[in-house]
Amino acid sequence: MCGIISGIFHFHEKTVFVMYDIALCEDSASDAAEIQNILDDYENDSHEDLKVKLFHDAESLIRSITSENYKPDVILTDINLPGISGIEAVKRLREGKFSGDVVFITASKGFALDAWELCARQYIVKPATKDKIFHTLGSIFHAREFIIVKHKRTLRKIPLSEILYCETRGKYQAIITRSENISVRITAHGMKNLLPPPCKSNFTELGSAYIINLENVRMIADGRIIFDDGKELMISRRRFRKVRRDFMSM
């Protein structure tokens, strides 16, 4: 089962409302309050569940993500911050493999190229109006897809874009993502049904052993699949021929 970020998911006959973590990094108390009010309005209008965590400087944002296992879905950050700038903060986070969406909100137009190089989803020049933030969050949320899995007695949402591959390991499926390996008690058939079909995505099946996200494959060579984060997977000659054929036909 998968779905666009915008509603209700059903998992083993239970209704699950998905919550999205928003990191707001803003040193101006008035600007932070204004953006928070807009986010509250967005939550009410869209019926999405947003959990906003406020940071007053970039150092605390970096520390929370890199050392405290905080994983926001979206970072909204000013650029002119005390100490480390918002640009430098996102650069460090990207170097640390943070792949979430980033939106810069700033009074200056002079950092747009830096933001583009850091793969920012949007660059908002203050004032951050309701229309600008609503449009930006809508474009982010409706472009992303997730699966929801049961992991260690909790329900986890995993963006499809983060998945490198899934591997059958006995009664479990190992979901290998850019940042972690998640073990889920589910059959290969059940895992296949969670993911979008090959005709609608770049996921390809290699028998019952592997499901590969070709979108995140950088290279295939010598029986190896090399992903864009540097991870490698060795596969048999027969499976290698299939993944090479599917990769070339993307």
| Whole-number pLDDT of residue 100 | 87
pLDDT digits 0-9 by tens, 80-114: 999 999 999 999 999 988 888 999 999 999 999 99
- Overall average pLDDT of the 117-144 stretch: 88
| Whole-number pLDDT of residue 190 | 87
Gap between the Cα atoms of 196 and 229, Å rounded? 22
Q: Is the pLDDT at 6 greater than 60, yes or no?
A: no
Gap between the Cα atoms of 59 and 64, Å rounded? 9
Find residue 174's DSSP bridge partners.
167, 183
CB 98 within 8 A of CB 70: no
pLDDT digits 0-9 by tens, 183-230: 999 999 889 888 877 776 789 999 899 999 999 999 999 899 999 989
Q: Which of 207, 233, 206, 211 is nearest to 222 (CA)?
A: 233
Q: Is the pLDDT at 10 greater than 90, yes or no?
A: no
| Whole-number pLDDT of residue 132 | 93
- Overall average pLDDT of the 135-140 stretch: 86
Mean pLDDT score across all residues of the chain: 87
| Whole-number pLDDT of residue 18 | 58
| Whole-number pLDDT of residue 192 | 87
- Overall average pLDDT of the 11-20 stretch: 49
Whether the model clears a pTM of 0.85, i.e. scores above it, the answer is no
- Overall average pLDDT of the 170-183 stretch: 93
Percent of the chain scoring above 70 in pLDDT: 90
| Whole-number pLDDT of residue 124 | 96
pLDDT band at 144 (very low <50, low <70, confident <90, very high): low
> Please, what is the angle between helix 86-95 and helix 58-67, to 10°?
10
Which domains, and CATH codes, for the chain? 18-141 (3.40.50.2300), 147-248 (2.40.50.1020)
Between 15 and 89, the more confident residue is 89
